[in-house]
Structures are given as C-alpha cells and as structure tokens.
Chains A and B, each alone.
Chain A
Amino acid sequence: MEWETVIGLEIHAQLSTKSKLFSGSSIEYGQEPNTQANIVDLAMPGVLPVLNTEAVRMAAMFGLAIGAPIGKGNVFARKNYFYPDLPQGYQISQFDKPIVELGYLDISLENGETKRIGVTRAHLEQDAGKSLHKDYAGMTGIDLNRSGTPLLEIVSEPDMRSAKEAVAYMKKIHELVQYLGINDGNLQEGSFRCDANVSVRPKGQKEYGTRAELKNINSFRFVERAINLEVERQIDLIEDGGEVVQETRLYDPDKHETRSMRSKEEANDYRYFPDPDLLPVEITDEFLESVRAALPELPQVKYQRFLDEYALSEYDAGVLTASRPVADYFEAVAKASGEAKLSANWVIGELSSHLNNNDLAITESPVTAEMLTSLIQRIADKTISGKIAKEVFQGLWAGEGKHADEIIESKGLKQITDSGAIEAMIDDIIANNTAQVEQYRSGKDKVFGFFVGQVMKASRGKANPAQVNEILKDKLKET
C-alpha cells in the first residue's frame, strides 16, 4: 500500500525580552541556579502575575509577519500541569483566544515550487524550569531560572507531507523570528524548540491517522531523522496488523529510535480555564499600527529587492537573505564599495568558509564589513588581483591590519602595473627558457600557461594578469 505522511509542528520560540512574561526576573541564560527566580516565579502565596508589554509586542509582530489577525481581546488561561519545574501547578498559556490567529508561511520545496503552510495560531505562554536528573541521592534537582520565561508557541496546520517539508517550514520560522528580532535562534540553548505531530494514512484517504507527538527534537537534522524514523515505525506497525496509539514519543539520537514517554490519553485532559489573575489583553489599533510601522523588511521582500537592486542571481540572493545579519553585512559592503556582485562572491565564498571553519557567526567576524569593503575596493581599482586579495583577506582575518591598504603595504602586495617592470621580468624569463619558447613558437599554445606561471612566480603573484598576458603574447611573437 502507498502511504502518505501528515506532519504538523509546534514550535516554541523563546522571546528575546529582558524580563520574564509575568515577573521582573531576568531571563539571561547560563546563570547560577535559582538566582533568577523571584517570588512570582516560585509561586509564593499571594503573588500576582503582571504581563510584560514587550512580549505582547513581539507576538503581535510575528502575527503581522504571517498575515494573521491579532486577537484584540486575547485571554490567558491556566493549563493544569503537575511537575515541580513549574511550582504554580499550572502553566499560564492561552487557549481559545490566542494573541495570533490563523496565518500562513510559504516554503520552497526541493523541486523549486512554493507551498503554503497554514499557521493555525501562536500564543504566549510561560516556559518551565529545568529538572536535573543527575543523582542527588535519588532525588531530582530543580532550577527555576527558566521558569516563567516568555515563549511564543507557534502551531502549524497538519499541512506538511514529508520530513523535508517539515524541516523547510521549521527553517523558515527560525529565519523569520530572527529577522523580527524576537528570538535569538539558538537551538543548542533551547531558545528554539520543536515538537512534531506525525501520522500516516493510506494515500487518498481523507481522514487523518492517529498521531504520535515527537518531543523536543532540537536540531534541523534530528527533526528530519526523527520524523522519517517515526513514519517507518508507524507504517510497519499498521502493516503488521497493529494500531498506532496517541502518545508522546522521545527521539533518541544516539540509539536512533523513538520511544514512548507517557500515554497522553489521560494526561491530555489539561482542563484549561481562564486565569482569574489576568484580565483580557487589549490590542488597540494604535498599538498595532506602531508595531506595523516598526516591522523590519521581511525575508521574501528583501530577497526580491536584492534581485532587483543588486542584480544578484537567485542563488546568491537566497543565501544572502537567509539570515538578517548576513543580509545586513552584505548590504553594508555592497553599498560602501558599489560592487554588489563582487561583495556577494566574497561574503558567500571566502568570508563564509572562514566563519564556518572557525565556527563563528557573521556578527563575530574578525573581518568587519568596513574591512571587507576596503579589500573589495582594492580589487575593483586593480591595486590587487583576486588571488592576492585572498592573502590580504587572510591578513585582515588574522588581525594584521584594519584596512586592506595596511596589509597590502606591509606585505608589499601591491599589483605591479608598471609595464616596464613586467616587460623586464618577461624578457628575463624568455631568455632563460629558450626550449619552451621554441615549443611555443612551433605551435604548442599550451606552453603559454607555463610562461604566465613563471611571471607570476617572479612577481610573487603581483603582476597584473591582463598586462602579463598581453605583453607575453607580444614578446613571444617576436623572433
């Protein structure tokens, strides 16, 4: 039988606020346990939550970016939850009146087509603290620093039909929240987490199959692997006469398997009810307009503009707009140097490979946009060749100077454009390589490359290549 996979994703994006959703505690990552948990986060008796404006603004930004209506009177609800990492005994979340209603996002498929994925809703909620299962004499350690951190839970429609589509969607959301500046995109630190609802059904069947929820699959690679593994498991199970049960499963990357965490059948009864401590949140037209006015240029718009304004290829524009810091960096260099194509090549090529090799983000690059601009200007005005430019780049990367000119100067890399000097070198080489000269003159054109190589060697790569070619041809013709 032919099977069809159905996938919906729930993404938890931690909002880049300074303080928690309902308290004035810091949300900074990596601090000493329980030093950022105040009486509200500890759910001491008598405390009341007070909502963070910035979290509301960020959620509204996301809503506008996916073309969704913003809930003008959105409501917080309590979701019953009995684990010690959230001492309230419930999570403050949103239920029937979320802040962001139905929107969409377009993803690009491998075959070049575009597919629209529905985003059912996005709502604000509290994150839980951390449980440390390291051995504390048979007990669990609780760190509540993360407890109460603002999350935007982004729930998709079950619109994806393969693990690849799911990854493409997840990447798109990841890119968008970073563009908006509402999430730091850090998967390792758990600022961006993903759960996948996966089911299979015979191709052509309308009803969805029973789904399993894959928890906390926190890298793009793992999402793809975990989904494929789960799809295989479900198909095998059904083909062997079994039935998929609705449950939560955990992906284990080491053993490469998914395993049941707990049956959600009973636990699924969260018994939501409106939180009596919180009033409905009013989103006024003025507020929404101010959010809209502050919305940055969105990835698709930027992509189109890069094509139009800088005449980049679709590939280059795609790579350069995949993240906002990269786009900003490129644009700074392109604008300052006036050499868009050259700038694109250097950012995508030499710079990216150096960053990758050193595991650095572009914002941490030792070669700043100004420094790369100085280098590109010297390539454009022919002070240095493309080849020498790599050496200059290396110098800038190693911190040997702040401007390309400093490196060119200190290493004596300035291109030799004095035709007299080049002629002298060529005369020398011709005189010392009579055999090759004979070969060339008898029709062996390939030997020409040998001469170019010799000149470059003699000039330590600094001779202007176009001039070398021209003068060489001339000289070799002479008898």
Chain B
Amino acid sequence: MSLSPDEVKKIAFLARLSIQEEHVDQYSQDLSNIFGLVEQMNAAATDNIEPMAHPQDAMQRLRDDVVTETNQRDKLMANAPLKEDGLFLVPKVLD
C-alpha cells in the first residue's frame, strides 16, 4: 500500500501542517514505507489474541473527585503574548 501525493496533502491539512510542494513526493515515499512496516507486522499470527488499547498491560488509576488546584492565572498567563480582561487573546476564530 502506498500514499498518493494528494493523500499526503490531505493528511497535512488535517494536522494543520504546512508542507512544501517539492517535499510532497519525499513524504509520500516515507509514509508509504511506514505502511510497508505495518503490512509486515500484519503477517504475524494474532488469532485468538485480544487487541490491546495500550502497550502496558495495566488498568487506569483513578483519582478522587477533589479540587486540588488554586488560582494561578497570573503565573500561567505570564508568557501569553496577548491578554485582556483575564482572557488569552488569539487570532480571530471563525466558524
């Protein structure tokens, strides 16, 4: 299986990555190679083996429902390039 240049562009768009036209072929080649690796793994016998959702064979630890955080707004906003009325300002979001 291989990825076409158009598919590479679509994936880049979905991931909000800007890629240069002259690199598309190279990406296409690299990503297709990864597919090759996946196909190789597909050859392994996995009948009767339950898929895992995580490589670690463990279950999620839970925490109690307790508010442990205090207001740290000034510190957390210190690096924000633009702020007003306690809000982060970002380029206009259009739907």
Contact = CB atoms under 8 A, between A and B. Distances in A.
Given A143-B87, A281-B60, A274 B65 contact: no
Contacts of B60: 51, 278-282
A412 interface: no
A33 B86 contact: yes
A131 B14 contact: no
Contacts of A109: none
Contacts of A75: 53
B61 interface: yes
Interface in A25-41: 25-26, 32-39
Interface residues of B, number: 37
B59 A141 contact: no
A6 B49 CA distance: 40
Interface in A5-25: 17-19, 23-25
B91 A140 contact: yes
B86 A35 contact: yes
Given A83-B93, A279-B60, A281-B60, A34 B86 contact: yes
Interface string B43-65: 00000000001101011111111
Contact of A139 (B54, B86, B90): B90
Contact of A142 (B58, B63, B65, B89): B89
B84 interface: yes
Contacts of A140: 89-93
Contacts of B16: 82
Contacts of B54: 274, 276, 278-280
B76 A54 contact: no
A389 B8 CA distance: 78
B65 A52 contact: yes
B88 A34 contact: yes
Question: Is chain B's binding surface mostly helix, strand, loop or mixed?
Answer: loop
Interface string B26-48: 00000000000000000000000
Contact of A97 (B10, B53, B71, B77): B53
Interface residues of A, number: 55
A74 to B, nearest CB: 9
A83 B72 CA distance: 23
Interface in A72-102: 73, 75, 80, 82-85, 97
B18 interface: no
B1 interface: no
Given A17-B65, A24-B69, A280-B54, A142 B14 contact: no
B95 interface: yes
A207 interface: no
A132 interface: yes
Nearest to A141: B87
A19 B65 contact: yes
B38 to A, nearest CB: 14
A103 B86 CA distance: 43
Contacts of A261: 95
Interface of A: 17-19, 23-26, 32-39, 42, 50-56, 73, 75, 80, 82-85, 97, 131-133, 136-144, 261-262, 266, 269, 271, 274, 276, 278-282
13 contacts: A50-B61, A51-B60, A52-B63, A54-B64, A84-B93, A131-B93, A136-B87, A139-B92, A140-B92, A141-B84, A266-B14, A276-B54, A279-B56
Interface of B: 10, 13-16, 53-54, 56, 58-69, 71-73, 76-77, 82, 84-93, 95
Given A50-B61, A52-B63, A280-B59, 16 more contacts: A19-B68, A19-B69, A24-B66, A34-B87, A34-B88, A35-B73, A36-B69, A36-B71, A50-B62, A133-B93, A137-B89, A138-B92, A140-B91, A141-B84, A279-B56, A280-B53
